[in-house]
Amino acid sequence: MDGSGKKRLLVVDDDRKLCGLIHDYLEPWGYDVEMRHTGTEGLEEAEEGEYEAILLDVMMPGMDGFEVLRELRKTSNVPVLMLTAMGDEADRIVGLELGADDYLPKTFSTRELLARLRAVTRRSHLADPVQAEQDVDWIVGKIRLNEGTHTVLLNEKPLDLTALEFAMLACLMRSKGRVKSREQLIEEVSERKFDVFDRSIDVHISALRKKIGDDAKQPSYIRTVRGVGYQLMEPDA
């Protein structure tokens, strides 16, 4: 994971169009996607960089995916998801025996790609319960938040939130249906003490509402509990 909180992913495939499609789909889900188009370049980048996972094409001119994986496993246990245009069982067995974590045919759907990618990275983090907890998606209505990747999607489109807005939304989503006082919100999202005259939390909530398209007078998500604080609700169907 890089300094922005995004998960670094390396895609090694000579199909530039497919690489571009993978890049465009995964970026909004919190992945920083790096692309290489030959086995040699891919192996060099994989050995020099730090990645959450690698998507590796089997059939490439020159150094193929099997050769890349064989060399990579001498020095790294990074999760590897093999991509193949062929559904040959023998190829899958070879890749798995060389140390691939999973296989995906190039006829994959984007949802399957994301699910399998999350599965292989989740398995690699099983020894870290904090990381496993952060990999959970919190979903309320059409809002999807992931603390591990520090991403928020509204209607499957990324939302640009400040760090404080993100922290407040995460706090409210974890406590969906329960009222959070201003004191609790301040204590959970910042290191400073709460001042009873400090109404800055209301300003941030107002900005957050605007970004998620919520109306303070008739809220779908964030309800004001007068004299107490705020409550995140499931919107009416």
pLDDT tens-digit map of 69-104 = 999 988 888 889 998 876 667 777 788 788 888 888
Mean per-residue pLDDT, 106-125: 80
The single residue listed with the structure tokens 């003490």 is: 193
Q: Evaluate whether 106 touches 18 at the Cβ level (below 8 Å).
A: yes
Mean per-residue pLDDT, 208-235: 91
Q: 223 and 196 in one domain?
A: yes
Separation between Cα atoms, residue 54 and residue 98, nearest integer Å: 15
Q: pLDDT-derived band of residue 194, with 50, 70 and 90 as boundaries? A: very low
Residue 200 C-beta-side C-alpha neighbours within 13 Å: 11
Per-residue pLDDT at 193: 45
Q: 89 and 12 in one domain?
A: yes
Phi, psi angles (nearest 5°) of residue 87: -100, 25
Separation between Cα atoms, residue 194 and residue 201, nearest integer Å: 10
Per-residue pLDDT at 198: 54
Tell me whether residue 2 is in a domain: no
Bridge partners for 84 per DSSP:
105
Residue 230 C-beta-side C-alpha neighbours within 13 Å: 24
Per-residue pLDDT at 132: 45
Q: 52 and 145 in one domain?
A: no
Whether 144 has a pLDDT exceeding 80, the answer reads yes
Question: Over the chain, what is the mean pLDDT?
Answer: 83
Tell me whether residue 55 is in a domain: yes
Q: 159 and 43 in one domain?
A: no
- Please report how the helices 65-72 and 39-48 are oriented relative to each other, as an axis angle in degrees rounded to 10: 20
Q: 126 and 185 in one domain?
A: no
Bridge partners for 57 per DSSP:
83
Question: How many domains is the chain partitioned into structurally?
Answer: 2
Top pLDDT among 69 and 115 is at 69
Per-residue pLDDT at 191: 47
Q: 127 and 11 in one domain?
A: yes
Q: Evaluate whether 154 touches 143 at the Cβ level (below 8 Å).
A: yes
Tell me the residue range of the domain where 228 lies.
137-232
Separation between Cα atoms, residue 3 and residue 199, nearest integer Å: 31
Instruction: List pLDDT tens digits, range 119-143.
Output: 787 766 544 444 545 556 789 999 9
Mean per-residue pLDDT, 23-30: 90
Mean per-residue pLDDT, 31-47: 94
Q: pLDDT-derived band of residue 233, with 50, 70 and 90 as boundaries? A: very high
